[in-house]
Chain A
Amino acid sequence: MTSSQQQQVQSMLRLDTKQSKRSTLLLEQPVTRQRRDKVSLSAFAFLFAEMIRYTQNRVLGIQDLETKLNELGQRVGVRVFELTMSREKTVRRETRVLQMLVYINSVVWRALFDKPADSLERSTENEDEYMITDNEPDILKYISVPKEMASFSPGAFISGIVESISVCCQCPARVTSHVVPAEGMPVRTVILLKFDKEVMERERRLEAGKSK
């Protein structure tokens, strides 16, 4: 192992033994504001591949597999959202659809993948559908999908993260991920959010109230 990798592993091990002592230490950690540490891609890819294999053994179809990965992503989403919000200069809440999407596009993506998402679009056919595009999702780099499962998108994990954030902002949505290859970007992933009817109604009411 190179020396930088060794240092990374050592610092992670030190963190481990400290945390396993007592719950008081968890509550005293200055995690909220200070450190910004990164995890090596290979370590995460290993974990992610094992997660997919683990869920594959326990499901009976592609839809089920995507749902299970979605659930795993939801556990991450809540925590990422709270943490990034508290690290902002002023702690606020998001309750409007567009503000929440912009926040996910920029801050959350940067916190998770070190780059902002590539684009945010609103579908022209349906008013309540929005799409977040990531041209090269790093965490999916080492996942290859066999031809017989061509409709499976491992981005279901990312869609789970986005879904739990939308629930936190009180804009519940059905979030799915699709692979839409384009020029030179074979793994381009699109996260599609379809908001519930009540969300769109509330948005319309708030818009009308504001423009008065």
Chain B
Amino acid sequence: MATFYFAIVGTNDSPLYEAEFGAQREENKYLQQFVVHAALDLVDDAQFMTNACYLKTVDRYNDWSVSAYVTPSNIRLMLLHEAKAEEAIKSFFTACHELYMKTLLNPFYQPNATIQSQAFDIKVHTLSKKYLL
């Protein structure tokens, strides 16, 4: 069963939102967080090379790969996955970016604060079922 770990990382490198899709094994949770955090450095390097938002696969660890998408306001959407079609991941990222933007437009939401809205959570899981699983 394919497993995915999705994280939205703020400008100060702390996660604003995390989610897991697909079947998970208990011991992998912390490892996934660690791998994604390590991949942030590679994202920092890659983001000056191109003007695009979607930075395909930035890192590989055993059989997991980490893909990244950077929003104009420097928020990183990271997805840890096993081999998966790039198009599907790109559409997933674009849809999540829209959701993040709508959350940002809420004047009561401080930029770089954790996203605790349940509606956001439900929507992200729906998107994951649509594009990833």
The interface of chain A, by Cβ under 8 A from chain B, is 22-24, 26-27, 29, 31-32, 75, 78-79, 81-83, 85-86, 91-95, 167-170, 202, 206
Contact = CB atoms under 8 A, between A and B. Distances in A.
A82 B104 contact: yes
A129 to B, nearest CB: 23
B102 interface: yes
Contact of A27 (B72, B73, B102): B102
Nearest to A86: B101
Q: Which of B52, B98, B102, B118 has the most CB of A within 10 A?
A: B102
30 contacts: A23-B117, A26-B103, A26-B105, A27-B103, A29-B102, A32-B102, A75-B107, A78-B104, A78-B111, A79-B104, A79-B105, A81-B72, A81-B73, A82-B73, A82-B101, A82-B104, A83-B101, A83-B105, A86-B101, A92-B52, A93-B52, A93-B70, A93-B72, A94-B51, A95-B48, A167-B74, A168-B72, A168-B73, A168-B74, A169-B72
Interface string B104-118: 111100010000011
A132 B104 CA distance: 27
B71 interface: yes
Contact of B72 (A23, A94, A202): A94
A82 B53 contact: no
Contacts of A75: 107, 111
Interface in B34-77: 47-48, 51-53, 70-74
Contacts of A93: 47, 51-53, 70-72
A95 B51 contact: yes
A26 B106 contact: yes
B129 interface: no
A81 to B, nearest CB: 6
A120 B11 CA distance: 28
Contacts of B74: 167-170
A22 B119 contact: yes
B119 A86 contact: no
A170 B45 CA distance: 13
Contact of B119 (A27, A79, A168): A27
A27 B48 contact: no
Q: Which 8 A-B pairs have the closest CB atoms?
A: A85-B72, A168-B73, A24-B119, A23-B119, A92-B51, A23-B117, A93-B72, A82-B73
